Structure 1
Amino acid sequence: MKGDIAAIKALLDDRVEKYNQPAFIPNDPVSIPHRFTRKQDIEISGFFASILAWGQRKTIINNCLKLMELMDNAPYDFILNHREQDLTRFLGFKHRTFNDTDLLYLLHFFRWYYQQHESLETAFTGEQNQIKTQKERLEYFHNLVFSLEDAPHRTRKHISTPAHKSACKRLNMYLRWMVRHDTKGVDFGIWHTLQPADLVCPCDVHVERVARRLGLITRKGMDWQTAEELTDHLRAFDPLDPVKYDYALFGLGVEGKF
């Protein structure tokens, strides 16, 4: 099939239909923001669900549920209105190498940010929508998050940036959740300045393996340019919504047929 563009597109379109369905939600980290209806709750819970999305999905979901419970299952209200003594409940929180130092700083950042802004979208696009490429948006976001004077150096590794050659899989997944809009109900589509055509495909191990075997990735290694290469190939199948094929590549990887 490698090199047969029509056959690859037909396969991927089929798997998009199969996996971009509500049945995908319960066993995926996207289930965490689906617990909420308020825009800011979706943004905040989705951000943490994406940042913690490495390792076994069951563990990811359980730790995210624990985190939401620590925020009284009302993350936006908690971030804006918590008192200093409320933060002690987060001491000892850990997911792999993400720990309470990282969590407490991000809570601090979100409080600072949401005191000034209605939505997290402008943290990627800029106040005047002046940030025009996905690479620049992720670099802008990283720099904004760590612009506060007490930002711990160790937390930087948890917020990836193309400036460090990262493929930014988790942030690209988060932006897919926030930006893509269709009738299937998995992604939220609550941000409207960014468009699905602007996005870059998240590249986890399943996506990378299948994409390489289909000839959609030729670069050695996995970095930002590799993620852009894959997305450029996917745009040939659907220029307005290339990252919908994340479902197909991920699903084929899980199926183990590639």
Structure 2
Amino acid sequence: MTINDHFSAPRLSDTEIYDLLEEKTLQYNCPDFIETDPIQIPRQFAQKENIEIAGFLAATIAWGQRPTIIRNGKWLMEAMDHDPYAFLLNTSEDEWLHFDGFKHRTFNGVDCIYFLRSLKNIYQNHGGLEAVFATGFQQDDTVAGALRYFRKVFFEVAGESRTQKHIANIDKNASAKRLNMYLRWMVRKDDAGVDFGIWDGIPMSALLLPLDVHTSKQARQLGLLERKQDDWKAVLEVSERLRQFDPNDPIKYDFALFGLGAFK
């Protein structure tokens, strides 16, 4: 069964939607998914901190053509001597000049160096990425709290204002697709071999859908999303609908919705 089988038919029942989502999640939540996904960048590493840093940088540039995202992600890892945690802790900004020429769409060398500076501050002074997100989550037990607190900490070091557009601001109704995708990578625990599940400070049940052009289109066609804009309010709406199908792991259905849109 595919979603195309139902374009001219009446809207699917919740049971039919559940069956379709479960089927497609099993199909796409598998190691083959990694071959074309930016998650392959942090998959190069075994150390927790390297996975976190590589994953965050890969998620940051995860828009545009997937081969370009992966190529630029690999360049970043090579430029950090394939050990990003050690690189951040043991090198000075004077040694980061080669990042000046980095460019991924509107994310340029100025932005890249700021991100490295901020990540270094997070690991030296805030206990690392997991600690920052978990501290924010604990303020009100929501991913929204985690994203707000992370953004506040991330921009506490001096830098150009232009870089702020590269960390989503949900208070301006941004969908925060890349940050929600990053949290899925770090938090979700299952046996499929795609997501890492190395963070314990945020429960899987609280995760939100990484809403993009593929997932939003499929969600609307299935009747899971009524809102027209792909914004924060839409993220909350569709995530709550997915939570009705699996309260403990609602964002596993990201694989189904993305797969239906990108790979069908």
How far is 1:21 from its partner?
0.3
| Residue matched to 2:81 | 72
TM-score of the pair, normalised by structure 1: 0.95
Gaps of 5+ in 2: 1-5
Partner-residue secondary structure (3-state), 2:171: helix
State the Cα distance separating 1:155 from its structure 2 match: 0.7
SS at structure 1 position matched to 2:247: coil
Structure 1 letter corresponding to 2:222 = L
Unaligned 5+ runs, structure 1: none
2:124 aligned residue (111, 115, 135): 115
Instruction: Show the counterpart of 1:101.
Output: 110
Q: Does 1:193 align with 2:215?
A: no
What are the equivalent positions in structure 2 for 1:107-256 lying under 5 Å apart? Answer: 107-126=116-135, 129-148=138-157, 150-256=158-264
Q: Which amino acid aligns with 1:138?
A: L
CA deviations 1:192-249 (Å, max 9, x no partner) are 0111101001011000000000010001211111001000000110000000000000
1:81 aligned partner: 90
- After TM superposition, give the deviation of residue 127 of structure 1 in Å: 7.6
Q: State the alpha-carbon separation in 1 of the partners of residues 251 and 262 from structure 2.
A: 17
Deviation per CA, 1:28-48: give whole Å up to 9, x if none: 000000000000000000001
CA-CA distance at 1:135 after TM superposition: 1.2
Q: Once the 2 structures are TM-superposed, how far is the Cα of residue 140 of structure 1 from its aligned partner?
A: 1.1
Large movers: runs of 4+ above 2 Å: 116-119, 127-131
Which moved further from structure 2: 175-184 or 79-88?
79-88
Deviation digits for residues 149-199 of structure 1 (CA, Å, limit 9, x no counterpart): x13211111000211100100000000000000011100000001111010
Structure with the bigger percentage of helix = 2
Which residue number in structure 2 is paired with residue 61 of structure 1? Answer: 70
- Report the alpha carbon displacement of residue 119 of structure 1 after superposing the two structures with TM: 3.2
Give the superposition deviation at 1:92.
0.8
Deviation at 1:116, TM superposition (A): 2.6
- In 1, Cα distance between equivalents of 2:206 and 2:261: 24
Give the alignment's TM-score, normalised by structure 2. Answer: 0.93
Q: Which amino acid aligns with 2:236?
A: E
What percentage of residue pairs aligned between the two structures are identical?
A: 47
Deviation per residue, 1:94-127 (Å, 9 max, x gap): 0000001111111111111111344311211218
RMSD: 1.3
